[in-house]
Amino acid sequence: MKLKFLLTILLLFTISISLSAKPVIDSVGVKNNDGKKLILFKVKPGDTYYSIGRRYHLKPEALMKYNGKKKAALSIGAIIEVPTDIPYKKSAKEKQMADAPKKETKKEKKARLAREAEEARAEKKHKHKADTDADVTQAPVTEPPATPVQLVRQVEQPAHPSVQQPVQQSAPADTVQPTQYKVSAGETLYAISKRFNTTVEAITKLNNLTSTTLVPGQILLVKPAQQAAQSPAPAINRETQSAPRDSTIVVSVNKDSLAERKFNANRFGLFEKNEKGVATWIEDQGLDPNKKLVLHRSAPIGTVIKITNPMTNRTTFAKVVGRFTETEATKDVIIVMTKNVADSLGALDKRFHVDISYGSPNE
């Protein structure tokens, strides 16, 4: 009797040890919850929040709150998430998948190839622009020597029909008196010396200049080294004039340009004006960017202006379609043009130096 009792006690003790040593088996599986183990428990008949919480050492209220449940009733086969403080350990398969390089999808590959192509195009464009700037900088700028034309002066005379002025020869260079010249925006001593067929040193010495920097509106004394013979003055029919007039027109042009372009003179005569200064181009809805159009301060509307870029030696012609007022964009400029004109001149910047000439009546 005692032996049977001892065997029974031994059997019960063995069963209790085996049950206590056996770990809790997860119902369905586990998940990673911020480095902690999250158990997925499948509800079986007879399970309640109380029994599940007691099994995993959790309060029923905490288990219900975590699963967003307000009722204590459970459905058989439902999956309940049970949070624990046990560290989550990745399986060998998960570690292998995490260490393996991520496979690029078709969409990602297409985006990567497009990005690389765009970077290649931008680099090529930047290199081409740098090469173009280098070529323009290294290219010598040759300015054709300008031969000044004798100043034309009309003075008040008695009204006589068809009076012609006698032809006069200019005085020798050493007896020529200095001429006052007003500096325009963007002009340099070199350009002025070429205009009057003299040298930078002569202008500097005559005006006692200590610097080659010029200011727009500055008055310089210029003594041409050599002047061409004065052309015969055109016949002036005083009968066509309503009143005598006294005016002085200063014209400095290139003889070659006079040979290239002829202007039909009206009763007061038509003369060519030359200007040098800064030009700019704009994008305005009122100007067709595909046409060669310009705005000028004083040139008559409809006038065709010859424009030259001394940096590229390119020349084009454009039509005056209106005036422009001085703003921040057009400050100190002599002409405003469309993008088409700027491209024809090979302009690289928004503002650049130009030489312009156009016909203007003697008013």
- 3-state SS of the chain is CHHHHHHHHHHHHHHHHHHHHCCCCCCCEEEEECCEEEEEEECCCCCCHHHHHHHCCCCHHHHHHHCCCCCCCCCCCCEEEEEEEEECCCCHHHHHHHHCCCCCCHHHHHHHHHHHHHHHHHHHHHHHHHHHHHHHHHCCCCCCCCCCCCCEEECCCCCCCCECCCCCCCCCHHHCCCEEEECCCCCCHHHHHHHCCCCHHHHHHHHCCCCCCCCCCCEEEECCCCCCCCCCCCCECHHHCCCCCCEEECCCCCHHHHHHCCCCCCCCCEEEEEEEEEEEECCCCCCCCCCCEEEECCCCCCCEEEEEECCCCEEEEEEEEECCCCCCCCCCEEEEECHHHHHHCCCCCCEEEEEEEEEEECC
Nearest C-alpha neighbor of 274 from the set 171, 155, 194, 349: 194
**Can you tell me the mean pLDDT for 44-51?**
88
Q: What CA–CA distances, in Å, run from 7 to 11, 14, 18, 21?
A: 6, 11, 17, 21
Let me know: does 226 contact 197? Beta carbons within 8 Å. yes
For 89-117, how does the pLDDT look when each residue is reduced to its tens digit (9 = 90+)?
776 666 666 666 667 788 888 898 999 99
Q: What is the pLDDT of residue 280?
A: 94
Residue 78 lies inside a defined structural domain of this protein: yes
Residue 287 lies inside a defined structural domain of this protein: no
Residue 54 lies inside a defined structural domain of this protein: yes
Residue 163 has pLDDT above 50, yes or no: no
Residue 129 lies inside a defined structural domain of this protein: yes
For 231-243, how does the pLDDT look when each residue is reduced to its tens digit (9 = 90+)?
444 443 434 333 3
> In this predicted structure, which of 98-112, 152-166, 310-324 has the lowest mean pLDDT?
152-166
> In this predicted structure, which of 37-41, 127-131, 142-146, 219-223 has the lowest mean pLDDT?
142-146
For 54-77, how does the pLDDT look when each residue is reduced to its tens digit (9 = 90+)?
888 888 888 888 888 877 788 888
Q: What is the pLDDT of residue 46?
A: 86
Residue 116 lies inside a defined structural domain of this protein: yes
Q: What is the pLDDT of residue 168?
A: 47
Q: What is the pLDDT of residue 313?
A: 93
In this structure, the answer to whether residues 80 and 114 fall within a common structural domain is no
In this structure, the answer to whether residues 30 and 69 fall within a common structural domain is yes
Q: State the Cα–Cα distance between residues 44 and 27, nearest whole angstrom.
A: 10
Q: What CA–CA distances, in Å, run from 140 to 137, 310, 313, 315?
A: 8, 10, 10, 17
Range of the structural domain that residue 112 is part of? 101-138
Residue 11 has pLDDT above 70, yes or no: yes
**Can you tell me the mean pLDDT for 84-89?**
83
Residue 86 has pLDDT above 50, yes or no: yes
Q: State the Cα–Cα distance between residues 307 and 310, nearest whole angstrom.
A: 10
**Can you tell me the mean pLDDT for 245-264?**
42
In this structure, the answer to whether residues 119 and 72 fall within a common structural domain is no
Residue 105 lies inside a defined structural domain of this protein: yes
* Domain CATH number, residue 69: 3.10.350.10
Provide CB contacts within 8 A for 245, sequence distance 6+.
154, 156
Let me know: does 143 contact 310? Beta carbons within 8 Å. yes
Residue 38 lies inside a defined structural domain of this protein: yes
Q: What is the pLDDT of residue 197?
A: 86
Q: What CA–CA distances, in Å, run from 15 to 18, 22, 56, 165?
A: 5, 11, 21, 142
Under the banding of pLDDT at 50, 70 and 90, the label for residue 289 is confident
Residue 201 C-beta-side C-alpha neighbours within 13 Å: 0
Q: What CA–CA distances, in Å, run from 39 to 27, 89, 173?
A: 8, 13, 110
For 182-227, how does the pLDDT look when each residue is reduced to its tens digit (9 = 90+)?
888 878 888 888 888 888 888 898 899 888 788 888 998 988 765 4
Residue whose tokens read 């002036």: 236
Residue 151 has pLDDT above 50, yes or no: no
Most confident of 21-30, 207-216, 314-323: 314-323
Pull the structure tokens for residue 289.
């960017």
**Can you tell me the mean pLDDT for 271-280?**
90
In this structure, the answer to whether residues 113 and 59 fall within a common structural domain is no
Q: What is the pLDDT of residue 65?
A: 87
Nearest C-alpha neighbor of 251 from the set 279, 270, 232: 270
Nearest C-alpha neighbor of 356 from the set 311, 304, 307, 318: 307
In this structure, the answer to whether residues 36 and 93 fall within a common structural domain is yes
In this structure, the answer to whether residues 79 and 129 fall within a common structural domain is no
Q: What is the pLDDT of residue 255?
A: 43
Percent over 70 (pLDDT), the chain: 68
Residue 122 lies inside a defined structural domain of this protein: yes
In this structure, the answer to whether residues 28 and 87 fall within a common structural domain is yes
Return the higher-pLDDT residue of 196 and 317: 317
Return the higher-pLDDT residue of 176 and 351: 351
Amino acid letter at 355? D
Structural domain tally of the chain?
A: 2
Give the chain's mean pLDDT: 75
